[in-house]
C-alpha cells in the first residue's frame, strides 16, 4: 500500500527529521494490503507498524524518531519513521560509472543504529538493527550488505 500526504511538506526535511509534524495527514493512494512498512508517495518516507516500533524501542535501537499519522484508512498505531543518525560523505572511488561496495569514513559516524550519509537519502543500519528487522519477517523491505551494494558514481 502507498499513502499520500494531503498537506504540503518537504519530503527531504520530513525524512531527516528536520520537519517533525505532530500528526501528518495522509490518505490511501494505491494498493490493498497494509504491511509492516507503508510507503508515502515520495521515494524517501514511510510509516512503520506498531510491531516494528515496539521492536525498535524494545531493542534500544538509536538514530530514529517518529511522528503521528492521521489517515482515512485503518492505520492505528502506525507512525512515520525519521532517520536522525548521521555519518560523513560517502567515499567516492576514482572511477566513474557503476561500482560495487559503499564506504564512508567511520570517524564521521555518530554511532547510531540507523544513519544517513551526508548528501544522500540512503538509510544505513547496523548489523544489530538488521537482526532485529530480520526477526520481524517484514515482506516489503530489502536490506543489503554495503559491500555488495551497487551504485552509480558520477
Give me the pLDDT at residue 73, please: 82
Residues of the chain with pLDDT under 70: none
Give me the pLDDT at residue 112, please: 98
Give me the pLDDT at residue 33, please: 83
Return d(Cα 57, Cα 59) in angstroms, integer.
5
Give me the pLDDT at residue 52, please: 98
Give me the pLDDT at residue 58, please: 98
Return d(Cα 88, Cα 109) in angstroms, integer.
7
Give me the pLDDT at residue 123, please: 96
- Grid coordinates representing 125 are 543500519
Give me the pLDDT at residue 1, please: 79
- Grid coordinates representing 21 are 509534524
Give me the pLDDT at residue 36, please: 95
User: With contact defined as beta carbons under 8 Å apart, do 90 and 84 qualify?
Assistant: no
Give me the pLDDT at residue 95, please: 87
The alpha-helical segments, DSSP class H, found in the chain are 11-16, 50-58, 127-135
Say what the pTM is.
0.91
User: With contact defined as beta carbons under 8 Å apart, do 136 and 125 qualify?
Assistant: no
Give me the pLDDT at residue 98, please: 94
Three-class SS state of 107:
helix
Percentage of the chain lying above the pLDDT 70 cut: 100
Amino acid at each position: 500500500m502507498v499513502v499520500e500526504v494531503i498537506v504540503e511538506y518537504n519530503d527531504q526535511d520530513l525524512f531527516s527529521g528536520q520537519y517533525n509534524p505532530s500528526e501528518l495527514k495522509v490518505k490511501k493512494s494505491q494498493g490493498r494490503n497494509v504491511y509492516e512498512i507503508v510507503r508515502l508517495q515520495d521515494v524517501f518516507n514511510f510509516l512503520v507498524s506498531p510491531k516494528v516500533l515496539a521492536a525498535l524501542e524494545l531493542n534500544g535501537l538509536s538514530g530514529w524518531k517518529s511522528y503521528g499519522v492521521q489517515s482515512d484508512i485503518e492505520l492505528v498505531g502506525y507512525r512515520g519513521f525519521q532517520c536522525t543518525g548521521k555519518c560523513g560523505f560517502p567515499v567516492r572511488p576514482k572511477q566513474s560509472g557503476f561500482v560495487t561496495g559503499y564506504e564512508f569514513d567511520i570517524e564521521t559516524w555518530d554511532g547510531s543504529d540507523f544513519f544517513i550519509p551526508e548528501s544522500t537519502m540512503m538509510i544505513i543500519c547496523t548489523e544489530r538493527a538488521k537482526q532485529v528487522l530480520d526477526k520481524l519477517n517484514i515482506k516489503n523491505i530489502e536490506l543489503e550488505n554495503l559491500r555488495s551494494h551497487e551504485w552509480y558514481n558520477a
